Amino acid sequence: MKASDLEAPSPDHRPVVAFDFDGTITRKDTLRLFLTRIRSRRAVASTFLRHAPQLALALQGGRARDRAKALICLDVLGGLTRTEAESAAAETAEAIKRSLIRTDTSTRIRWHQAAGHRIIVVSASFEAYVKIVAASLGIGEVIATGWEVDPAQDVLTGRLAGANVRGDAKVDQIASHIHGPCDLAYAYGNSSGDAAMLARATHPIWVGRRHMPELLEEPPAGDSIQ
């Protein structure tokens, strides 16, 4: 091993901009869209119905939401081959790119790219399709939820690999990714799962249902777009 291999990554001094994915870059949540690329709509609906009590608790957010997602994914993803999962992810990404990208958010992304900012997509959705969509928008950095694979059989266990990337996990994962404190210039999000990330931004921007106006100049701190 070379001494240089042990050196810490060179610091990147560009302003960091974090974008949530579901409801912020896309027009709606994409997990069910992905799951129905694996099982039939009826089978997915049956799974959600079977876990209705846990899903009701998930409305409270936090760990209850994480537990409900874990149960759904265990039922739907468990036993799936890696190839099958990646194929479903590719199909999901194509469907999102075709009709679910918010034009106002894509305009914001281009503004930040032109300004030379470092853009990171941070999402509780699965990395396998988020990274494809992000790449189509010119974004190479993605922090998203992964799925656990049994290496002996190359099949999904149904469990998540690491944390479900929402809430405080977004802040922790960003800090780990950039090798420093989660100090953001801008952050875009649309739900309580983004609140911790938005709280770490100089310009926290809550994305609502209405289109965001084109960003022609730097907005004031705490700008809220509804």
Asked whether the predicted pLDDT for residue 223 surpasses 80, the reply is no
> pLDDT of 164-190, one tens digit each?
999 999 999 999 999 999 999 999 999
- What number of CA atoms fall less than 13 Å from residue 78's CA on the CB side? 9
> pLDDT of 57-98, one tens digit each?
666 666 777 788 888 889 999 999 999 999 999 999 999 999
Query: How much is the pLDDT for 45?
Result: 80
Query: How much is the pLDDT for 199?
Result: 98
6-15, 58-67, 216-225: least confident range: 216-225
> pLDDT of 125-161, one tens digit each?
999 999 999 999 999 999 999 999 999 999 999 999 9
Triad 217, 223, 226: Cα angle to 5°:
110
Alpha carbons 105 and 167: distance in angstroms, whole number: 21
> pLDDT of 187-212, one tens digit each?
999 999 999 999 999 999 999 888 88
**This prediction's pTM:** 0.86
In order, the DSSP letters of 125-143 are: EEHHHHHHHHHHTT--EEE
Q: How confident is the model at residue 9 (pLDDT cuts 50, 70, 90)?
A: low
Mean per-residue pLDDT, 93-115: 96
Q: How confident is the model at residue 225 (pLDDT cuts 50, 70, 90)?
A: very low
Alpha carbons 33 and 90: distance in angstroms, whole number: 12
> pLDDT of 26-51, one tens digit each?
999 999 999 999 988 888 888 778 76
Query: How much is the pLDDT for 3?
Result: 42
All structural domains of the chain: 3-206 (3.40.50.1000)
Alpha carbons 124 and 30: distance in angstroms, whole number: 10
Asked whether the predicted pLDDT for residue 213 surpasses 80, the reply is no
